[in-house]
Amino acid sequence: MRNRTSGFIVSVAVAAVAMGVTDGSLAAQTPAKSAAKPAAARLANIKRAPDGHPDLTGTYDVATMTPVERPSGVKSLTLTKEEAAALEMYEAERQKKNDAPLEADRQAPPVGGETTTGKSYLEFLERAGGGVVGGYNNFWLAGGTQLIVVDGQKRSSLVMDPPDGRIPPMKPEARQRNARFAAGGAVAPDASESAASGPPGAFDGPELRPLAERCLLGFGNTSGPPTLPNYFYNNLKQIVQTRDTVVLLNEMVHDARVVRMNAEHAPPTIRKWMGDSVGRWDGDTLVVDTTNFTTKTRYNGSSENLHVVERFTKTDANTILYRFTVEDPTTWDRSWTGEYPWRATDEKLYEYACHEGNYSLGGMLRGARQKEAEDAAKKTGKQ
């Protein structure tokens, strides 16, 4: 491979949204914008609903290898053609290698598991999700092999504002709030399955296990809002649109969010896991405003004061540009915005019956109680 792909050093709390680059090969080189069809020509074939608004109904594939936050060391939102090609080539070759049959006489993994640093965002996430001993076989994964493209340019992150492409630092009071939450033995509701996601003992009882791990909400905030890519598998999102209601359905887990059009928000006493979403049309853009969150979800460490505004805009007959703005005055000093394309697909969205018939959890709990009883008997000398 002629173009060397930068190595990534990533620091995460939920195995999810930040990666760092160890060298400056992806420094800020902003290419000239590629020629694009005139807007009128691109939008001429957009299907419209009976009320005249763009018809967003359909199934969309959001698989991508672009991270939510900008890699440290990357100063530009856009990547050069050479930089993008190097990253995409590395990821495609890595997935091809992982799909190949394993040698029956292969060597045992290193003592303590695999601890080397991945060279792509998806490579890091797969190692973080499975720990040093590994996770799913690659057969079960469907990570993207392409960077997102907006305005004809390959992007280095979903976050576009602030200009550095990073989620703003958390306020001191917000860090203290989350520290108190963790000190109580709880783990963040949007945490992954990894034990590193929470304090010691956070996974010891069924009531403490996070919503995502229990398959009650999508991992990594795929449920939204903002509704993000999954980065592992189940990359589809479906929109069903009527004049009075829009439903946003995620393949990952099963989350269905109902948007009430031209409605008022519910009273502040009514709180929902995915907030209260109301929609309106701003020209040809669907704008969804969501408030009334609960502290049971805590997206990215936020509070019940979280406010998310989403904008769904058809950029051509087969693409929606999804833009989201997040604010919470009790968590961040300023709002932040990201965007990425949703591409129409003919693929079918299947039910994800994640924990249905999960007998193993009961077995693990009974085994743990049995071990506790045996350890207690040893201390008292009773067998």
**DSSP letter string, 304-326:** TT-EEEEEEEEEETTEEEEEEEE
Three-state SS for 308? strand
Tell me if 156 is assigned to some domain.
no
**Residue 96 corresponds to which tokens in the numbers above?**
């091809």
The answer as to whether 289 is a domain residue is yes
Question: Which residues, including other chains, have CB under 8 Å from residue 366's CB and lie 6 or more apart?
Answer: none
- Would 231 be classed as within a structural domain? yes
The dihedral sign for the CA sequence 203, 209, 210, 216: positive
Cβ neighbour number for residue 237 with a 10 Å cutoff: 26
- Lookup: tokens for 9: 């050093």
Q: How far apart are CA 24 and CA 68, in angstroms?
A: 19
CA 74/CA 71 separation, integer angstroms = 6
Instruction: Please tell me the distance from the alpha carbon of residue 159 to that of residue 358, in angstroms, as a whole number.
Output: 37
- Domain of 329, in residue numbers: 172-344
Radius of gyration of the chain (CA): 22
Cα(252)–Cα(255) distance, rounded to whole angstroms?
7
CATH of the domain at 217: 2.40.128
Buried b (16+ CB within 10 A) or exposed e, 219-232: bbbbbbbbbbbbbb
Q: What is the pLDDT of residues 9-45, one digit of tens each?
A: 333 333 333 333 333 334 433 344 444 556 666 777 8
Distance CA 307, CA 297 (A): 13
Q: Could you read off the pLDDT of 355-364 as tens digits, one per residue?
A: 666 677 788 7
> 229, 197, 254: which is closest to 340 by C-alpha?
229
205 in a domain, yes or no? yes
Per-residue pLDDT of the chain (383 residues; tens, 9 = 90+): 333 333 333 333 333 333 333 333 344 333 444 445 566 667 778 999 999 999 999 999 999 999 999 988 888 999 999 999 999 999 999 989 888 888 889 888 777 777 777 778 888 887 776 665 666 778 888 889 999 999 999 999 999 999 999 999 999 999 999 888 777 766 776 666 555 556 666 666 677 777 777 778 887 788 899 999 988 889 999 999 999 999 999 999 888 999 999 999 999 999 999 999 999 999 999 999 999 999 888 888 899 999 999 999 999 999 999 999 999 999 999 999 999 999 999 999 988 877 666 677 788 788 988 999 999 999 887 55
User: How many domains does one find in the chain?
Assistant: 1
Which residue is listed with tokens 């649109």? 241
Place of tokens 């590994």: 134
d(CA 235, CA 233): 5
**Is 260 inside a domain boundary?**
yes
**Nearest alpha-carbon partner for 328 in 353, 297, 365:** 297
Residue 153 lies in a domain: no
Which burial class, exposed, middle or buried, applies to 110 when counting CB atoms under 10 A from its CB (0-12, 13-18, 19+)?
A: exposed
226 within 8 A of 190, measured Cβ to Cβ: no
Residue 297 lies in a domain: yes
Q: What is the pTM of this model?
A: 0.83
| Domain presence at residue 123 | no
Q: CA torsion angle for 336, 279, 45, 321 (degrees, to 10)? A: 10
